[in-house]
Structure 1
Amino acid sequence: MSDEKLVGIVLVSHSGPVAEAVAALARGLAGGGETAPVAPAGGTDDGGLGTSSDLIAAAAAQVDRGMGVVILTDLGSAVLTVKALLAEGDELPDGARLVDAPFVEGAVAALVTASTGADLDAVEAAAVEAYSYRKV
């Protein structure tokens, strides 16, 4: 599946372990086999809490398969870091898109949808739709 053109997913959290756990959860719930590419970008370069533009850019490059990259974030300053990277214009792959969606549910929905070969708009729509998931 690695040569197939698919939308990639980047999960930006203030915590490396949180980003890694959400990526693992999404992979497991997407069937556990081969999925669209997903990469965590959590914490700072030295492993602390925060966000790192270098880690985000590296994760986006890692998952880019030519169909765009959906970037999901956990908290406010992660959003600001991604927006700054997008504004710079050359740090992220073409088609990289910050998506306003719940972090966990959106990650699962995005990865499941991307793994079907869906395009960037469909992957974004699936992640955003996760806002409507009711728990009660």
Structure 2
Amino acid sequence: MKVYFAGSIRGGRQDAELYRKVIAALKEKHQVLTEHVGDLSLSTVEDKGDKAIYEQDTTWLRECDIVVAECTQVSLGVGYELAYAEARGKEVHIFYRPKETQLSAMLAGNERFHIHRYADEAEILAQVKNIG
């Protein structure tokens, strides 16, 4: 299965190490199209240019079978990716830490999205391994 992993880049890289671990867990069973999101050296300003990033990401979103998003760090880009995925009928799994953020009602209220709350790294990694 092809997985599009979504996590904050320009919205903040506080969870980059967690993204790396989640991507590694997903890769045990799936192909992850967006491994770069877990790259600890990835900066909030990419060199590719906005248009190239948009084209590549929307291509991957059309190609993927499932979207997995970590939404604790607020990100306009991740929100857009989730809406794009929904419009194309993709299965979407959203993870977040409720003690640190309140998930947008536009996500939490969408019955098509699978919402997963978690408290710590061990919990999200266990949940991710059950996807697909």
Please give the TM-score of this superposition, normalised by the length of structure 2: 0.46
Q: Which has the higher helix share?
A: 1
